[in-house]
Amino acid sequence: MKKDKATISIIIPALNEEDHIGALIDYLIKNSSEKRIAEILVIDGGSQDRTTTCAENAGATVLKTTKGRAIQMNHGANASMGDILYFLHADTFPPKDFDQHIITAISGNHESGCFQMRFDSTNWVLRFFAWFTKYNHKICRGGDQSLFITKELFTRTKGFNEDYMVFEDNEFIGRLYRKTYFKILPQHVKTSARKYREHGVIRLQYHFGVIHLKNYLGAGPEQLYDYYKRKIAL
């Protein structure tokens, strides 16, 4: 890969995101350089709404697979054309010129990394937890911060573990921390706090904390997903 000519494939796993996906794709196109973005891939996991139509109308390429973000993101990576993969949630907006920030990091020999994060909320608890995303420790990582990685490293580390229906981002990033230096960029993505508004900030943060603790104590992907289904996906 010639780093000065590297291109980025943006990979967005989606499921019933008709209210967000069009605005996100429009934003990505307007806030990046056409010569740097090889493609915007929306990987649909079986939406029952107009997600795929909205994505295609906005200018993205839609691919379909079974439900599960790890499965969807691997599918997108396998189909991608870019030298760099940029995994982004459908309700997360990266900073302006995000492509150039990523290219600069890759040119500085950083094979993977993410941005810091802010929520679209003034809630002090969410602002407090978002503040920790500036620290370079794997416990401070999560998929909402987005993830960039060279396609070569993604292939070498075998991508996301499809056994994980939840915690897939954390599991993969944990492996990246053991393989390479993970770069935290100073710019911020803005992600939706909709799940916190739906379930309650303290309650949801508590359950996410329990999932992290269970993983630390050795719980496998089935146990984590069982807890998630019982306590969060109500």
Bridge partner list, 148: 86, 113
Q: Please count the CA atoms within 13 angstroms of the CA of 211 that sit on its side-chain side.
A: 26
CA pseudo-torsion sign 59, 62, 67, 73: negative
pTM > 0.85: yes or no: yes
Bridge partner list, 86: 10, 148
Q: What percent of the chain has pLDDT over 70?
A: 98
Mean local confidence (pLDDT), 121-150: 95
Q: What are phi and psi of 201, to 5 degrees?
A: -60, -55
Please, where in the chain does CATH 3.90.550.10 lie?
3-192
Of 71-85, 160-174, 220-234, which range is least confident? 220-234
Helix ranges, the chain (H) = 21-30, 51-58, 69-79, 98-107, 124-131, 151-156, 168-179, 194-199, 201-216, 221-231
Q: Is pLDDT at 168 greater than 60 in this prediction?
A: yes
**For residue 19, what pLDDT is reported?**
94
Rounded to whole angstroms, the Cα distance separating 95 from 148 reads 14
Q: Which CATH number fits domain 3-192: 1.20.1730.10, 3.90.550.10, 2.60.120.10, 3.40.640.10?
A: 3.90.550.10
**For residue 34, what pLDDT is reported?**
87
Residue 222 CB coordination number (10 Å): 11
